[in-house]
Chains A and B, each alone.
Chain A
């Protein structure tokens, strides 16, 4: 059988997908065990027990200065920044994307500006944001929003612009005005694409979040990772990175499920 036709069963897919991950874990454990047999106080490749002890401390013991449970406080702070940044970007993407995609004069006015902002590397703006907005929450949220919004706006605008011309004509012959075409024809069809755009923006959004937290912060997942780096605390860094990965995966899965649930017509389902 050709490989292009070789479809795996669900069980086989789980085995095939799990194997490389398991392999990496096993390689790590072997290397960690080897290092620890040579030097029991090795910090570079901590064993699971070491990670567990370090994390249990962060999870359950309140920080003596702030009284917070550090891990949960970090998570909450980071998710709040990420949520706000992505939320603002999503709002802009929806409104501007629809207007740029559906209305030629708005496209002519705003499209060059959005393109211009999109080509600026957002991290290069970080000093500007810190100077202009201070080192607080605002600059971090704005960095995420500026970082992901232009791509999302352009994606939604392109999607709306590529709706079949026939649909727009048809709506006009049904007596729809520009607003009704945006609200009833363009907006509903842009929504699944918007969720898709958020899923794709999650990766860059995390990059900007961790960068902003690394540079100037006193709480957050990125802040903690860069803080404990000074003490070579791989036993905290590795679980934190794994936690970030898990959060990102959960968000991605949730958005995909939401899209299927809310917009079945876009997924060819309920046949």
Chain B
């Protein structure tokens, strides 16, 4: 099977500081890739590369065999740890916005039948993430967990080729985090998503991922710590992607809830 996303000999350097060196990565369609590593090991840099927010200093990134445009686009959805939702839009508005953008390039909003259709689609997506009762709330009126559910719905409405998660559950308390793990596993299966998740929670990485990638520096020069960048030091396939849906929904909540 051909890879959905492939990075070939990718380097990221800021001046003479090397952040990532010689990263080679193939992500298959349907994979749930967890990226772990110590702080400063370039986890977020790698995510920003895939997102198109940054361009590699060297190397190429291919999405569906095509070179990645150095700009964010609707083929890659993202959920950040914070600031993922728009505080001035209601829950429904936040999700409908993604449908309005391609449909109304000049008016920047939809009206009449088109609007009702988009809102119906957004409502269905919000029900899928469990926010069907909160359509008209503003994000500030919701808990952190609900805001992340909204951010996920907002990203999924675009049916992205890849969903990028940047420590999405890092700011949530353990019980909520377990719920969110169940949710993201279910969505990943129901919508046949390809997910790349950066996390600092190793248990989370192993319970959710079909594959865990550990980034770290292979070499370390004590006199010039910035001269060597991080790369994939471990690449552990856990389950074969794409995973067939296991019958009972006994997601790994209890395990994750213990941290």
Q: Which residues from chain A sit less than 8 Å from chain B, CB to CB?
A: 164, 166-167, 169-177, 179-180, 183-185, 188-189, 263-266, 268, 270-271
Given contacts A175-B73, A268-B140, contact A164 B83 (CB under 8 A): yes
Is residue B259 contacting chain A, with contact meaning CB distance below 8 A?
Answer: no
- A173 and B83: CB pair below 8 A? no
CA distance A264 to B158 in the complex (A): 28
CA distance A184 to B74 in the complex (A): 17
Pairs across A and B, CB under 8 Å, 20 listed: A164-B82, A164-B83, A166-B83, A166-B84, A169-B53, A169-B80, A170-B154, A174-B97, A174-B98, A174-B101, A174-B154, A175-B102, A176-B97, A176-B101, A180-B101, A180-B105, A265-B87, A265-B139, A265-B140, A266-B87
Kindly list 20 other residue pairs between chains A and B, CB separation below 8 angstroms, not including A166-B83, A170-B84, A173-B74.
Answer: A166-B80, A166-B82, A167-B84, A169-B51, A169-B80, A170-B80, A170-B151, A172-B71, A173-B78, A173-B158, A174-B101, A175-B158, A179-B106, A179-B108, A180-B101, A189-B86, A189-B87, A263-B88, A265-B138, A266-B87
Chain A residues closer than 8 Å to B78, beta-carbon distance: 169-170, 173
Given contacts A174-B158, A180-B101, contact A271 B51 (CB under 8 A): no
- A265 and B73: CB pair below 8 A? no
Is residue B257 contacting chain A, with contact meaning CB distance below 8 A?
Answer: no
Is residue B18 contacting chain A, with contact meaning CB distance below 8 A?
Answer: no
Chain B residues closer than 8 Å to A175, beta-carbon distance: 73-74, 98, 101-102, 158
- A184 and B108: CB pair below 8 A? yes
Number of chain B interface residues as a range: 35 or more
- B101 and A173: CB pair below 8 A? no
CA distance A205 to B73 in the complex (A): 44
Q: Quick one: closest B residue to A170, CB to CB? A: B84
Q: Quick one: closest A residue to B79, CB to CB? A: A170
Chain A residues closer than 8 Å to B151, beta-carbon distance: 170
CA distance A271 to B83 in the complex (A): 20
Chain B residues closer than 8 Å to A167, beta-carbon distance: 83-84, 86
Is residue B195 contacting chain A, with contact meaning CB distance below 8 A?
Answer: no
Is residue B217 contacting chain A, with contact meaning CB distance below 8 A?
Answer: no
- A270 and B141: CB pair below 8 A? yes
**Shortest CB–CB separation between residue A228 and chain B, in angstroms?**
49
- B80 and A180: CB pair below 8 A? no
Given contacts A170-B154, A173-B78, contact A188 B108 (CB under 8 A): no
Best-surrounded residue of A164, A172, A189 (most CB of chain B within 10 A) = A172
Chain B 121-155 interface mask (CB, 8 Å, partner A; 1/0):
00000000000000000111100000000010011
- A177 and B105: CB pair below 8 A? yes
Is residue B72 contacting chain A, with contact meaning CB distance below 8 A?
Answer: yes
Q: Quick one: closest A residue to B138, CB to CB? A: A265
Given contacts A174-B158, A175-B102, contact A183 B84 (CB under 8 A): no
- B141 and A174: CB pair below 8 A? no
Is residue B160 contacting chain A, with contact meaning CB distance below 8 A?
Answer: yes
Given contacts A188-B88, A265-B140, A268-B140, contact A172 B73 (CB under 8 A): yes
Is residue B77 contacting chain A, with contact meaning CB distance below 8 A?
Answer: yes
Q: Which chain B residues in 37-58 approach chain A with CB under 8 Å?
A: 51, 53
- B72 and A172: CB pair below 8 A? yes
- B108 and A173: CB pair below 8 A? no
**Shortest CB–CB separation between residue A258 and chain B, in angstroms?**
16
Given contacts A170-B80, A173-B77, contact A266 B158 (CB under 8 A): no
Is residue B109 contacting chain A, with contact meaning CB distance below 8 A?
Answer: yes
Best-surrounded residue of B53, B78, B100, B101 (most CB of chain A within 10 A) = B101
Q: Quick one: closest A residue to B77, CB to CB? A: A173
CA distance A185 to B82 in the complex (A): 16
CA distance A270 to B106 in the complex (A): 32
Given contacts A173-B73, A175-B158, contact A265 B82 (CB under 8 A): no
**Shortest CB–CB separation between residue B166 and chain A, in angstroms?**
9
CA distance A266 to B141 in the complex (A): 11
* 5 pairs of A and B residues whose beta carbons are closest in the complex: A172-B72, A164-B83, A175-B74, A166-B83, A174-B98
Is residue B76 contacting chain A, with contact meaning CB distance below 8 A?
Answer: yes
- B88 and A173: CB pair below 8 A? no
CA distance A133 to B141 in the complex (A): 52
Q: Which chain B residues in 58-103 approach chain A with CB under 8 Å?
A: 71-74, 76-78, 80, 82-89, 97-98, 100-102
CA distance A172 to B85 in the complex (A): 13
Chain B 101-122 interface mask (CB, 8 Å, partner A; 1/0):
1100110110000000000000
